[in-house]
Amino acid sequence: MTWLIYLFLRFTRCRNAASAVEFAILVPVFMVLVFGIIVFGSYLAMVHGVQQLAAEAARRSIAGLNNTERASLAAGYVGANAGSYPLLAADRLTVASATSGSNVFVVTVDYDASQSFIYALPTFVPMPPSRIERSAAIPFGGF
């Protein structure tokens, strides 16, 4: 029985593989943090791009004389400028616009992000929703 205690004490004093054990414990945590930063950083960049497109399309659409012309101006702006956002694919963007109330024009940009590279990464972290929809409203006329 004493030899068992001796082996246990000797085992607890041994530090030869301590760094390997610490590495094995910390690498999964580090990988989750790195993949989380990549996934959610990229996702937030896509959300920001969609919101910027919606806001600028709403600003551009106010120059139209009627709802049809405003919708055409908004869709034209999104189609022409979607390429300036590197994480967005122009063919996955849809634009909808309508009058809300009597004096507000609303432009909604919808993006299907399901084919984005972040959904091909290993799923160490929960994935964000693949549909991004953002709206921007702009009032007609003066004050």
Print the domain residue range for 86: 22-139
Q: Which residue has the higher pLDDT, 113 or 16?
A: 113
User: Residue 111 pLDDT more than 70?
Assistant: yes
Residue 119 and residue 141 in contact, taking contact as beta carbons nearer than 8 Å: no
**What's the mean pLDDT in 30-39?**
86
- Does residue 129 fall inside a structural domain? yes
| E strand or H helix that includes residue 85 | none
**What's the mean pLDDT in 1-16?**
71
pTM of the predicted protein model: 0.77
| pLDDT recorded at residue 36 | 84
| 73-87 per-position pLDDT tens digit | 999 999 999 989 999
- Does residue 14 fall inside a structural domain? no
Residue among 40, 52, 139, 42 nearest 93 (CA): 52
| Percentage of residues in the chain having pLDDT higher than 70 | 92
- Does residue 1 fall inside a structural domain? no
Q: How many domains does the chain have?
A: 1
**What's the mean pLDDT in 27-39?**
87
- Does residue 128 fall inside a structural domain? yes
Backbone angles phi, psi at 93, to 5 degrees: -95, 140
| pLDDT recorded at residue 22 | 80
